[in-house]
Amino acid sequence: MDFYSDNTAPAAPEVLAALAAANQGVARSYGDDAWSRRLDEAFGRYFGRPVRVFPVATGTAANALALAACTPPWGEIFATDAAHVIHDECGAVELQTGGARLTRLPSPDGLLDASVLEAWLADHPVSLHSPQPAAVSITQASECGTVYDAARVAAIAGACRRHGLTLHMDGARFANALATLGVHPAEITWKAGVDVLSFGATKNGAMGAEAVVFFDPGRVGDFELRRKRAAHLFSKMRYLSAQLLACVEQEFFARNAARANRLAARIGAAAGRRLLFPVQANAVFVRFDPGQKQALRERGFGFYDWGPPREEAARFVVSWDQDETHVDALCEALAAWN
């Protein structure tokens, strides 16, 4: 009963079908194929405005390359202290930017508050001697399973505009956020002031495909050279592009996210007063009494510890493919302790 992560799930059948369909005949390499050439248009329809889209194979590549496109080597990038770019990418952002600084801003729930950003910037004047503020990265849905609504994104974007910063959204679980908010993808991205998005597909059913989406083509610059140099320009690009097209053009993608969210909400309800954060996507964070985590593991539940190790908390992530009987079992166990 695996609740470790949504990336332990297999690829969705629709994605496998898309790969099989793309596996016909020759196709020019490095993105000059029929699938890749359709990406800008397909994502443009999905987002409701012209965009430029670049497939890569991992979320870390998407984040690091997107941030590198808007941050000089002496730049500074702000993110919450829970951010994937800070904790879980082993310096990938630093590599691709040529050494930019990642600065943690405090957040109780994984969501950045515009006022926290503003206060930091007010307290840290910039000079020739300091790293130069360049970008803000927010995660939607956040690493704590919480979600930014459009107004909150817009408030951050406003602060970014005032200070000349680019706003990046790490959308590794973008589909889950959308499913919760019930809004058009435009509302929480470009309409709210996001400049560049790491569009996540892998966690929600792709085999291995993410997209860097520029809402302002003027920001693309040398992105293609950056991607090539990062070894993320695939020779047989059609297989990345076919996955991404399936995700933005077929119905399963939203359905997968909605299902995972719904199951997570069930777990959240069972956890009740033990919840660390509101359940707004497909992850549930639970505080336990001593011994309870061990007991769950002995019953066959797999999950990661959460937070400072000295706390008795755990993270449960529900994948698109989660066996609902496992969710039933987990809910039952949690409810018994409530």
Please list every residue from 58 through 97 that binds a copy of itself, using CB under 8 A: 58-61, 64-65, 72-74, 87-92, 94-97
Sheet containing strand 313-317, strands side by side: 283-287, 313-317, 304-306
Give the integer Cα–Cα distance in Å for 46 and 149: 19
Shortest Å distance, C-beta 44 to a copy of itself: 23
- Cα separation of 80 and 195, whole Å? 18
Say how far apart CA 203 and CA 206 lie, in whole Å: 7
Residue 329: partners with Cβ closer than 8 Å, 6 or more residues away:
1, 299, 301
Judged by beta carbon, residue 125 or residue 290, the one nearer a copy of itself is: 125
Question: Does 337 interact with a copy of itself (rule: CB under 8 A)?
Answer: no
Q: Which is nearer to a copy of itself, 58 or 292 (CB)?
A: 58
Rounded Cα–Cα distance for residues 193 and 158 (Å): 8
Q: Which of residues 157-176 bind a copy of itself (CB under 8 A)?
A: none
Cβ-based nearer residue to a copy of itself, 152 or 203: 203
* Residue 25 is a binding residue for a copy of itself (CB under 8 A): yes
| Residue 319 contacts a copy of itself per CB under 8 A | yes
Q: Distance of CA 50 to CAs 41, 211, 254, Å? A: 7, 15, 21
Q: Does 9 bind a copy of itself (CB under 8 A)?
A: yes
Tell me whether residue 232 or residue 274 sits nearer to a copy of itself (CB atom). Answer: 232
Please tell me whether residue 234 binds a copy of itself under the rule CB under 8 A. yes
Q: How many other CB atoms are there within 10 angstroms of residue 335's CB atom?
A: 13
Please identify, among the stretches 5-13, 161-169, 264-272, 284-292, the one whose residues bind a copy of itself according to the rule CB under 8 A: 5-13
In this chain, which of 235, 251, 298, 325 binds a copy of itself, going by CB under 8 A? Answer: 235
State residue 149 phi and psi, 5-degree precision.
-85, 170
Closer CB to a copy of itself, 24 or 325, in the complex: 24
How far apart are alpha carbons 106 and 80 in whole angstroms? 6
Nearer to a copy of itself by Cβ, of 98 and 108: the residue is 98
Q: Does 112 bind a copy of itself (CB under 8 A)?
A: no
How far is the C-alpha of 79 from the C-alpha of 160, rounded, in Å? 12
Q: Can residue 267 be called a binding residue for a copy of itself (CB under 8 A)?
A: no
Tally Cβ neighbours within 10 Å of residue 79. 27
Q: Does 202 bind a copy of itself (CB under 8 A)?
A: yes
Smaller CB separation from a copy of itself, 30 or 151: 30
Q: Binding segment for a copy of itself among 51-59, 141-149, 182-190, 285-293 (CB under 8 A)?
A: 51-59
Q: Give whichever of 152 and 227 is closer to a copy of itself, judged by the CB atom.
A: 227
Note whether 8 binds a copy of itself by CB under 8 A: yes
What is d(CA 33, CA 36) in angstroms, rounded to the nearest whole number? Answer: 5
208 near a copy of itself, rule: CB under 8 A: yes
Nearer to a copy of itself, 74 or 252 (CB): 74
Cβ partners under 8 Å of residue 54, min gap 6: 65, 211, 212, 214, 223, 224, 227
CB count, 10 Å around CB of 294? 11
Q: Which of 222, 324, 328, 332 binds a copy of itself (CB under 8 A)?
A: 222
Tell me: does residue 205 bind a copy of itself (CB under 8 A).
no
Element spanning 104, H or E: strand 101-105
Residues 119-158 binding a copy of itself (CB under 8 A) are 122-125, 128-132
